[in-house]
Amino acid sequence: MRAVIKFKNVNKYFGNHHVLKDINLEIREGEVVVVIGPSGSGKSTMLRCINQLEKISSGELIVDGFRLDDPKVNINLLRQEIGMVFQHFNLYPHKTVLENITLAPIKVKKMDPREAEKIARYYLQKVGIAEKADAYPSQLSGGQQQRVAIARGLAMKPKIMLFDEPTSALDPEMVNEVLDVMKSLAREGMTMVVVTHEMGFAREVADRVIFMDEGRIIEEGTPEHFFKEPKEERTRLFLSKIL
Protein backbone atom coordinates (compact mmCIF):
# COMPACT_ATOMS: atom_id res chain seq x y z
CA MET A 1 0.00 0.00 0.00
CA ARG A 2 1.08 3.55 -0.62
CA ALA A 3 2.90 5.63 1.98
CA VAL A 4 0.66 8.36 3.37
CA ILE A 5 3.42 9.79 5.54
CA LYS A 6 7.00 9.85 4.33
CA PHE A 7 9.95 11.33 6.22
CA LYS A 8 13.18 11.44 4.23
CA ASN A 9 16.32 12.59 6.06
CA VAL A 10 14.27 14.97 8.16
CA ASN A 11 16.06 17.20 10.64
CA LYS A 12 14.54 19.64 13.06
CA TYR A 13 16.35 22.27 15.11
CA PHE A 14 15.04 24.56 17.81
CA GLY A 15 17.76 27.22 17.61
CA ASN A 16 20.97 25.23 18.00
CA HIS A 17 19.18 22.34 19.59
CA HIS A 18 19.06 19.41 17.15
CA VAL A 19 15.89 17.54 18.14
CA LEU A 20 15.15 15.36 15.09
CA LYS A 21 18.16 13.73 13.46
CA ASP A 22 17.90 12.22 9.99
CA ILE A 23 14.46 10.75 10.43
CA ASN A 24 13.53 8.25 7.73
CA LEU A 25 10.10 6.74 8.09
CA GLU A 26 7.28 5.64 5.83
CA ILE A 27 3.81 4.98 7.15
CA ARG A 28 1.35 3.22 4.90
CA GLU A 29 -2.37 3.75 4.59
CA GLY A 30 -4.19 1.93 7.38
CA GLU A 31 -1.03 1.32 9.37
CA VAL A 32 -0.96 1.75 13.15
CA VAL A 33 2.44 2.92 14.37
CA VAL A 34 3.27 3.27 18.04
CA VAL A 35 6.14 5.58 18.98
CA ILE A 36 7.95 5.05 22.27
CA GLY A 37 11.03 6.61 23.83
CA PRO A 38 12.27 8.61 26.79
CA SER A 39 11.05 12.09 27.57
CA GLY A 40 12.76 14.66 25.36
CA SER A 41 13.60 12.17 22.61
CA GLY A 42 11.59 14.07 19.98
CA LYS A 43 8.36 12.05 19.83
CA SER A 44 6.00 15.02 20.10
CA THR A 45 8.08 17.09 17.71
CA MET A 46 7.96 14.33 15.11
CA LEU A 47 4.18 14.11 15.47
CA ARG A 48 3.78 17.89 15.34
CA CYS A 49 5.78 18.08 12.10
CA ILE A 50 3.20 15.82 10.45
CA ASN A 51 0.45 18.45 10.76
CA GLN A 52 2.76 21.45 10.49
CA LEU A 53 2.48 22.54 14.09
CA GLU A 54 6.26 22.52 13.70
CA LYS A 55 8.20 23.10 10.49
CA ILE A 56 11.00 20.75 9.53
CA SER A 57 14.46 22.32 9.19
CA SER A 58 15.71 20.10 6.37
CA GLY A 59 14.84 16.95 4.45
CA GLU A 60 11.58 15.91 2.86
CA LEU A 61 8.24 15.29 4.49
CA ILE A 62 5.27 14.24 2.41
CA VAL A 63 1.89 13.78 4.08
CA ASP A 64 -1.06 12.59 2.03
CA GLY A 65 0.53 14.03 -1.09
CA PHE A 66 1.28 17.41 0.51
CA ARG A 67 4.97 18.32 0.36
CA LEU A 68 5.59 20.01 3.67
CA ASP A 69 8.96 21.39 2.61
CA ASP A 70 7.10 23.40 -0.06
CA PRO A 71 6.47 26.91 1.32
CA LYS A 72 3.27 27.11 -0.74
CA VAL A 73 1.69 24.08 0.90
CA ASN A 74 -1.93 24.68 1.94
CA ILE A 75 -1.76 24.08 5.67
CA ASN A 76 -5.51 24.43 6.17
CA LEU A 77 -6.28 21.73 3.65
CA LEU A 78 -3.55 19.52 5.11
CA ARG A 79 -4.92 19.89 8.63
CA GLN A 80 -8.39 18.83 7.51
CA GLU A 81 -6.87 15.46 6.67
CA ILE A 82 -5.27 15.00 10.07
CA GLY A 83 -6.90 14.70 13.47
CA MET A 84 -4.79 15.19 16.57
CA VAL A 85 -5.46 14.17 20.15
CA PHE A 86 -3.24 15.54 22.89
CA GLN A 87 -2.42 14.50 26.42
CA HIS A 88 -4.52 17.37 27.74
CA PHE A 89 -7.82 17.28 26.00
CA ASN A 90 -7.90 20.95 24.96
CA LEU A 91 -11.69 21.15 24.82
CA TYR A 92 -13.30 24.59 24.86
CA PRO A 93 -14.56 24.91 28.45
CA HIS A 94 -17.44 27.28 27.69
CA LYS A 95 -18.87 25.19 24.89
CA THR A 96 -20.95 22.06 25.21
CA VAL A 97 -19.68 18.71 24.04
CA LEU A 98 -21.77 19.02 20.88
CA GLU A 99 -20.51 22.55 20.19
CA ASN A 100 -16.91 21.42 20.71
CA ILE A 101 -17.38 18.79 18.04
CA THR A 102 -19.36 20.82 15.49
CA LEU A 103 -17.19 23.94 15.65
CA ALA A 104 -14.49 22.93 13.15
CA PRO A 105 -16.80 21.21 10.64
CA ILE A 106 -19.00 24.35 10.55
CA LYS A 107 -16.18 26.92 10.58
CA VAL A 108 -13.47 25.18 8.59
CA LYS A 109 -15.45 22.86 6.35
CA LYS A 110 -18.43 25.22 6.03
CA MET A 111 -20.71 22.33 6.83
CA ASP A 112 -24.42 22.91 7.36
CA PRO A 113 -24.94 23.09 11.18
CA ARG A 114 -27.65 20.41 11.15
CA GLU A 115 -25.44 18.09 9.18
CA ALA A 116 -22.53 18.83 11.56
CA GLU A 117 -24.75 18.00 14.53
CA LYS A 118 -25.80 14.73 12.96
CA ILE A 119 -22.19 13.75 12.41
CA ALA A 120 -21.21 14.86 15.92
CA ARG A 121 -23.95 12.71 17.46
CA TYR A 122 -22.84 9.76 15.35
CA TYR A 123 -19.27 9.98 16.65
CA LEU A 124 -20.38 10.61 20.23
CA GLN A 125 -22.35 7.39 19.97
CA LYS A 126 -19.29 5.69 18.59
CA VAL A 127 -17.08 6.73 21.51
CA GLY A 128 -19.84 5.68 23.91
CA ILE A 129 -21.06 8.99 25.35
CA ALA A 130 -24.07 9.95 23.27
CA GLU A 131 -25.87 11.07 26.43
CA LYS A 132 -23.26 13.76 27.17
CA ALA A 133 -23.95 15.88 24.08
CA ASP A 134 -25.25 18.85 26.08
CA ALA A 135 -22.82 18.64 28.98
CA TYR A 136 -19.88 20.99 29.47
CA PRO A 137 -16.34 19.57 29.61
CA SER A 138 -16.01 20.29 33.35
CA GLN A 139 -18.98 18.00 33.97
CA LEU A 140 -17.17 15.05 32.42
CA SER A 141 -14.48 12.72 33.73
CA GLY A 142 -11.04 12.82 32.14
CA GLY A 143 -11.75 9.66 30.19
CA GLN A 144 -15.00 11.09 28.86
CA GLN A 145 -13.30 14.36 27.90
CA GLN A 146 -10.63 12.49 26.00
CA ARG A 147 -13.31 10.51 24.16
CA VAL A 148 -14.97 13.81 23.20
CA ALA A 149 -11.58 14.98 21.90
CA ILE A 150 -11.37 11.83 19.77
CA ALA A 151 -14.93 12.32 18.47
CA ARG A 152 -14.03 15.92 17.65
CA GLY A 153 -11.08 14.72 15.60
CA LEU A 154 -13.12 12.09 13.81
CA ALA A 155 -15.93 14.52 12.94
CA MET A 156 -13.56 16.18 10.46
CA LYS A 157 -13.33 12.81 8.67
CA PRO A 158 -9.53 12.80 8.73
CA LYS A 159 -7.36 10.34 6.83
CA ILE A 160 -4.79 10.22 9.61
CA MET A 161 -5.15 10.40 13.38
CA LEU A 162 -2.23 11.44 15.57
CA PHE A 163 -2.27 10.73 19.29
CA ASP A 164 0.29 12.25 21.67
CA GLU A 165 0.22 10.36 24.97
CA PRO A 166 -3.59 10.38 25.01
CA THR A 167 -3.90 8.44 28.26
CA SER A 168 -1.00 9.72 30.31
CA ALA A 169 -3.00 12.45 32.06
CA LEU A 170 -5.82 10.07 32.96
CA ASP A 171 -6.54 8.32 36.22
CA PRO A 172 -5.70 4.63 35.77
CA GLU A 173 -9.31 3.48 35.82
CA MET A 174 -10.08 5.63 32.77
CA VAL A 175 -7.21 4.54 30.58
CA ASN A 176 -8.97 1.54 29.11
CA GLU A 177 -12.12 3.33 28.01
CA VAL A 178 -9.94 5.58 25.85
CA LEU A 179 -7.69 2.78 24.60
CA ASP A 180 -10.78 0.75 23.65
CA VAL A 181 -12.01 3.57 21.41
CA MET A 182 -8.56 3.80 19.83
CA LYS A 183 -8.42 0.05 19.31
CA SER A 184 -11.72 -0.01 17.46
CA LEU A 185 -10.55 2.87 15.31
CA ALA A 186 -7.38 0.93 14.51
CA ARG A 187 -9.38 -2.15 13.57
CA GLU A 188 -11.54 -0.09 11.24
CA GLY A 189 -8.43 0.74 9.23
CA MET A 190 -7.61 4.28 10.35
CA THR A 191 -4.00 5.33 9.74
CA MET A 192 -2.73 6.13 13.22
CA VAL A 193 0.51 7.37 14.77
CA VAL A 194 0.34 6.98 18.51
CA VAL A 195 2.90 8.15 21.05
CA THR A 196 2.21 6.00 24.08
CA HIS A 197 3.92 3.74 26.54
CA GLU A 198 0.85 1.52 26.79
CA MET A 199 2.53 -1.61 25.49
CA GLY A 200 -0.67 -3.61 25.89
CA PHE A 201 -2.21 -1.34 23.27
CA ALA A 202 0.86 -1.78 21.07
CA ARG A 203 0.70 -5.54 21.41
CA GLU A 204 -2.97 -5.64 20.44
CA VAL A 205 -3.15 -3.24 17.50
CA ALA A 206 0.21 -1.81 16.43
CA ASP A 207 1.60 -2.94 13.10
CA ARG A 208 4.92 -1.39 14.01
CA VAL A 209 6.66 0.10 17.02
CA ILE A 210 9.29 2.81 16.69
CA PHE A 211 11.78 3.47 19.48
CA MET A 212 13.29 6.98 19.55
CA ASP A 213 16.13 8.31 21.64
CA GLU A 214 17.90 11.66 21.46
CA GLY A 215 16.16 12.64 18.22
CA ARG A 216 16.87 9.44 16.34
CA ILE A 217 14.89 6.36 15.42
CA ILE A 218 17.00 3.75 17.16
CA GLU A 219 14.99 0.65 16.41
CA GLU A 220 11.73 -0.37 14.78
CA GLY A 221 9.83 -3.60 14.46
CA THR A 222 6.67 -5.45 15.30
CA PRO A 223 5.38 -5.36 18.88
CA GLU A 224 6.58 -8.98 19.23
CA HIS A 225 10.08 -7.90 18.24
CA PHE A 226 10.12 -5.38 21.06
CA PHE A 227 8.74 -7.84 23.61
CA LYS A 228 10.94 -10.75 22.64
CA GLU A 229 14.17 -9.63 21.08
CA PRO A 230 14.95 -5.92 21.00
CA LYS A 231 18.40 -5.56 19.45
CA GLU A 232 19.70 -2.31 20.81
CA GLU A 233 20.95 -1.92 24.35
CA ARG A 234 19.22 1.46 24.67
CA THR A 235 15.91 -0.11 23.69
CA ARG A 236 16.27 -2.86 26.27
CA LEU A 237 17.14 -0.38 28.96
CA PHE A 238 14.10 1.74 28.11
CA LEU A 239 11.73 -1.21 27.95
CA SER A 240 13.00 -2.52 31.28
CA LYS A 241 11.77 0.75 32.79
CA ILE A 242 8.29 0.77 31.28
CA LEU A 243 7.31 -2.90 31.17
Sites of contact with Mg ion (CB under 5 A): 44
State which amino acid sits at residue 9: N
**Is 55 one of the binding residues for ligand ADP (CB under 6 A)?**
no
DSSP 53: S
Question: Which residue is nearest to Mg ion, using beta carbons?
Answer: 44
Selection from Mg ion, ligand ADP, none that 45 binds (CB < 5 to 8 A by kind) is ligand ADP
Residues 6+ apart with CB under 8 A from 57: 11, 12, 13
Are residues 186 and 205 in contact, defined by beta-carbon separation less than 8 angstroms? yes
> Which residue, 43 or 132, has its beta carbon nearer to ligand ADP?
43
> Which residue, 177 or 198, has its beta carbon nearer to ligand ADP?
198
Least distance from Mg ion to the Cβ atom of residue 161, Å: 17
> Which residue, 14 or 122, has its beta carbon nearer to ligand ADP?
14
Selection from Mg ion, ligand ADP, none that 19 binds (CB < 5 to 8 A by kind) is ligand ADP
Are residues 38 and 215 in contact, defined by beta-carbon separation less than 8 angstroms? no
**Is 168 one of the binding residues for ligand ADP (CB under 6 A)?**
no
Selection from Mg ion, ligand ADP, none that 96 binds (CB < 5 to 8 A by kind) is none
**Is 167 one of the binding residues for ligand ADP (CB under 6 A)?**
no
CA 236 from chain centre, in angstroms, equals: 25
Give the integer Cα–Cα distance in Å for 203 and 237: 19
Name the 3-class secondary structure at 156: coil
Residues 6+ apart with CB under 8 A from 146: 85, 89, 166, 167, 170, 174, 178
> Which residue, 41 or 191, has its beta carbon nearer to ligand ADP?
41
Least distance from ligand ADP to the Cβ atom of residue 219, Å: 15
**What distances in angstroms separate CA 99 from CA 3, 43, 95, 139, one per listed residue?**
34, 31, 6, 15
| Site mask for ligand ADP (CB under 6 A), range 14-43, x = bound | x--x-x-----------------x-xxxxx
Helix 172-187 and helix 142-154, axial crossing angle in degrees, nearest 10: 20
Least distance from ligand ADP to the Cβ atom of residue 37, Å: 6
* Binding interface with ligand ADP (CB under 6 A): 14, 17, 19, 37, 39-45
